[in-house]
Amino acid sequence: MKDLKHLFFFENLLQEAYNETVMQAVKKGRRALGYTCYYIPEVLLNLEGCFSVRLRAPRSASPDMATYYVTNRNCPFSRAFLERAIEGGYNFISAFIGSETCAAMDRAQEHLSLLNLIQTPGFFIKHLDVPLKDDIRSIEHYENQLKIKILKPLSDVFGIKTDEAAIRESIDRHNELCRIISEIGQLRKKNPPVISGYEFSIIQLVSLVCPHDAVIDKIKETAEELKSRKPDEKNPYRVRVVVAGSEIDDPYFIKLIEDCGALVVADRYCYGSFPGRETIDIGENESALRAVARHYLKTSQCPRFMNHEKVDHRPVYIKSLFEDFKADGVIIEAMKFCEFWGYEKALCSHILMNEMNVPCCTIEKEYTIGSYGQLRTRFQAFVESLELKKLNAAV
């Protein structure tokens, strides 16, 4: 397929957290607000005068300094995050919003404060107490946390408007971006494909780590370009897969899977679009903040949720993506030492394979992929098993 016009530009934006678009926005006086988890509503960090940056640690090396503080048995994502903060890689942010969702990230965020790593004037750190359920009481508690831990300090410290009108305007802008990303994502259903999973992961990541107004026009152009893009005469992919799991913010991991012959058609992982790019609807007589709180708790598929309804629904959700995108299998990833996804990977793959007849491949990996060899072998074997399954079904 012909290269996408803006792909090289997008790829370059992912080389550093403090990329060109972020740098320009900060120079104009806008406040960069860092976060790492879906539990922090992106839409509330994009009120007028500030913008969200979902933090990553691209091109990480060995996290030696971070390991001194949090041990080498902590999640490698949290260690890479802390290492990059110690290196000064996040010195551009004006605030960091975290959540009490994962012990490893809690410790990394705690050291961000204890070591006084960021010296930006007015810098503050807030941690949300996020419920483990999504019932009405949980939504009310979450809404109160958003008010106290995000809206109030943004107003008090930086003078950001956080009233009903301001939140509604931010929701409108957020929904516009979500509709475009979702429109592009739906093109992955086509066979032969007009967009690869790698290309989509680039676009999705850019929408998370850059000011939206700095990239939305180019994303719109890309959406239009894809409508007339001609697929390769010969489909380069042998099978189609859904990828689920924890923090996957390296598009070259997706490229590795696709180099083994498996087109990634749906991204059910942290930093992916399922969930993440659903529009926020405001109900009748519902405040904008309540709508945000309800939306993020209801749509979240995080394995931290332990109520039966959420636990039972997570494999059902993955199977729905498997069927909707006409996939042949599912790859479930877990970051090494990730407690939540360690359990989820085992439980979800068991249910999918034994109760839903969905072929699965489960892997555990480091944050930075130092050696592709072992993963490549696993993916190639999985692709071959899926091909064999298709051949047997055709007999």
CB-facing half-sphere around the CA of 388: CA atoms within 13 A: 7
pLDDT of residue 368: 80
For residues 115 and 321, what is the distance between their CA atoms, to the nearest angstrom? Answer: 43
Q: Using DSSP, state whether 358 is helix, strand or coil.
A: coil
Whether the pLDDT of residue 371 is over 70: the answer is no
At residue 54, φ and ψ (nearest 5 deg) are -80, 115
Residue 190 pLDDT exceeds 80: yes
Cα separations in angstroms, 261 against 120, 143, 244, 328, 377: 46, 44, 18, 12, 12
Contact in structure between 51 and 25 (CB atoms under 8 Å) = yes
Confidence of residue 233 (pLDDT cuts 50, 70, 90): confident
Q: What is the pLDDT of residue 138?
A: 96
Identify the pLDDT of residue 100.
85
Instruction: Say how far apart CA 172 and CA 85 lie, in whole Å.
Output: 32
Measured N-to-C along each axis, helices 251-259 and 197-209 cross at an angle, to the nearest 10 degrees, of 180
Mean pLDDT of the chain: 95
Greater pLDDT, 79 or 61 = 79
For residue range 244-289, list pLDDT tens digits in order.
999 999 999 999 999 999 999 999 999 999 999 999 999 999 999 9
Contact 194, 238 (CB under 8 A): no
Q: How far apart are CA 332 and CA 345, in angstroms?
A: 6
To which H or E segment does residue 48 belong?
none
In this structure, the strands spanning 124-128 and 50-54 are unpaired
| Mean of pLDDT values over 97-104 | 89
pLDDT mean over 210-223:
98
Assess whether pLDDT exceeds 70 at residue 395.
no
**pTM, full prediction:** 0.96
**What percent of the chain has pLDDT above 70?**
99
> pLDDT exceeding 90 applies to what percent of the chain?
87
- Once rounded to an integer, what is the mean pLDDT over residues 335-342? 91
> Is pLDDT above 90 for 101?
no
Which tens digits make up the pLDDT trace of 48-58?
999 999 999 99
257-296 CB burial, b ≥16 within 10 A, e <16: bbebbbbbbbbbbbbbbbbbbbebebeeeeebbbbbbbbb
pLDDT of residue 373: 83
Q: What is the mean pLDDT of residues 347-368?
A: 95
pLDDT, residue 62, reads 86
pLDDT at 206 > cutoff 70 = yes
Q: Does position 328 have pLDDT exceeding 80, yes or no?
A: yes
List, for residues 105-159, the tens digit of each pLDDT value: 899 999 999 999 999 999 999 999 999 999 999 999 999 999 999 999 999 999 9
Cβ atoms of 325 and 266 closer than 8 Å: yes
Q: Phi and psi of 313, rounded to 5°?
A: -80, -25
Question: How many Å apart are CA 127 and CA 97, to the nearest integer?
Answer: 6
User: Which DSSP string do the residues of 369-395 spell out, in sequence order?
Assistant: ----HHHHHHHHHHHHHHHHHHHHHH-
